[in-house]
Amino acid sequence: MAIKVKRYLLISALVVVALLTAIGFGLIPVNLFFAKPAISELAIGKLGMDLEIRGPLRIRFGPVPALTASGIAIRFPADGDKPLMQIEQLVVKPRLLALLDSDVFLRSINARGVEFDYCQGGPPKSGTNSDPTSHRESLPPIAIDQVRIQDIQLFCSNKERELAFLPQNLDLEASAPLNGPIEASMAGRSDEHEFHLTLSSGGLAELLEDSSSFPFELKLQALDSEISVTGNVSRPLSEPEIA
C-alpha cells in the first residue's frame, strides 16, 4: 500500500514538473480569465475608458511571451453601450523585464478585425464633467517597437455625421519608440482606388499625456497625386494650427 502511494505521489510530481516546464517554455498557454476585471479597472484608471474582453484571454510564456485576447470592446463611459472600437483578435508581445520596473515596453502589437466608430468619443460639451481624461492616473513610460493592424473597418453610428468618402479594409503599420516620434503607414481602398497615408508625429508620451500642442506631418498618395500637411493639433481641438 505504501509503495503504491509513493508511486502515485512520484507520478503526480512528475506531471506537475512537466506541466510547469511546458508552460515556462511556452508550449501551453495559461488562461487569464481571472485577470479580466483587473485589466478593465486599469483601463478606466489609466486611460479613462471602459475595456471589456468578451472572449478568451491567454498568455504564452517562453523566449518571447505573448498575450492573446479576443472579442474586445472599448468605449468612453459617457457613450453608454456604444463601443468606440471592437477588436476581433489582439496579440501583444511585452518585454517582461521592463514590466518589472513598471515600464510598458512592447515588442509588438498585432490586431485583426477592427471596427472603429469615428462618430463616438467626441470632446465633451462645456459645463459637463464627461471628460474621460479628467480622472486619469499618471502613465508609466510606454514604447512600442511594432504595431500591425489588419482589416480595419470604419463606420458611423450616427447617420447624420456619416462621411461620404469612407475608405475600407485598411491596414496599418506603426512604431512608437521611447523618446522618439510616432511613425505610421496606412494603406487601403475607396471606390476601387488605392491610397497610401504616412504619418510622422510627436512622441507617444505627448499624445497620451494630453500635451497642449501635438505636432504632426501627413502625406497622402492617391490618384497619382500627393498631398502633404504639416501642423499641430492644439487643445482644445477647436483651435487647430495647420500649415
pLDDT single digits (tens) 16-51:
777 777 777 677 888 999 999 998 888 888 778 889
Where are the chain's structural domains?
Answer: 1-31, 32-242
pLDDT in the model for residue 18: 79
At 1, the pLDDT band (50, 70, 90 cuts) reads low
Q: pTM to 2 decimals?
A: 0.76
Residue 140 has pLDDT above 80, yes or no: no
pLDDT in the model for residue 240: 46
Report residue 135 as a C-alpha cell: 480622472
Using the CB atoms, write b or e for 117-146: b if 16+ within 10 Å: bbbbbeeeeeeeeeebeeebeeeeebbbee
Please tell me whether residue 69 adopts helix, strand or coil conformation.
strand
What distance in Å separates the CA atoms of residue 76 and residue 74, rounded to the nearest whole number? 7
